[in-house]
A and B are shown apart, each in its own frame.
Chain A
Amino acid sequence: QVQLQESGPGLVKPSQTLSLTCTVSGGSISSGSYYWSWIRQPAGKGLEWIGRIYASGSTNYNPSLKSRVTISVDTYKNQFSLKLSSVTAADTAVYYCARTHNIQFDFWGQGTLVTVSS
């Protein structure tokens, strides 16, 4: 059973860069035809797809966030990462990482709350 775990700072100052890592266990990030995605959810609101990466490094981003997002992968560590630059309070949310098969998200991390505040 694949498991995913998000990690990173829970507090980021406005205008700085949010950085999170997702560690995958129970399977190789390089095996199978899977993408690996980031999704976020502001408190009390719905889900927003941020972007995804394939083991080869190929990426797709949400057009509304594309100018600020970078997703990278480290196959040796079985991890993938998210960087979101120039954050504001609107970026405060629970951030999830998820395995992506076709376009559905079949395994999710537990989520990590990131608060943007000075």
Chain B
Amino acid sequence: QSVLTQPPSVSGAPGQRVTISCTGSSSNIGAGFDVHWYQQLPGTAPKLLIYGNSYRPSGVPDRFSGSKSGTSASLAITGLQAEDEADYYCQSYDSSLSGVVFGGGTKLTVL
């Protein structure tokens, strides 16, 4: 059971928009800690996709965007492409656990 809750899977057709939610609590996201998102392509290490809730590292397409509100955060992907098929993880910090926490991950399937 992960501290941050993500849907196990989402899917969309090429060109569509999908969103992935990340629900936390008052000791992590709701406490004001930033949310970060990672993309893990099959057989590879995770890659930082969004940091500080909504900022993209250099080289990440602007099709990817992040937002945060209250105790939840979301990752949106527009103009879905086949190469976006991957696992996506949210991450934050939890003050009760005094440590970094991850969501359980969401598998994105491009139909």
Contact = CB atoms under 8 A, between A and B. Distances in A.
A34 interface: no
B99 A110 contact: no
Contacts of A63: 97-99
Contacts of B38: 47, 105
B42 to A, nearest CB: 12
Interface residues of A, number: 21
A46 B45 contact: no
B45 A103 contact: no
A104 B93 CA distance: 10
Interface string A54-93: 0000001111000000000000000000000000000000
What secondary structure prevails in chain A residues at the interface with B? strand
B64 interface: no
Given A96-B45, A105-B48, A106-B48, A49 B36 contact: no
Interface string B43-66: 011111001100001000000000
Interface in B78-105: 89, 91-93, 97-105
A102 B92 CA distance: 11
B16 to A, nearest CB: 25
Nearest to A48: B102
A47 B46 contact: yes
B111 to A, nearest CB: 22
A14 interface: no
Interface of A: 37, 46-49, 52, 60-63, 96, 101-106, 108-111
12 contacts: A47-B38, A47-B89, A48-B102, A49-B102, A63-B98, A104-B48, A104-B52, A104-B91, A105-B48, A106-B48, A109-B45, A110-B44
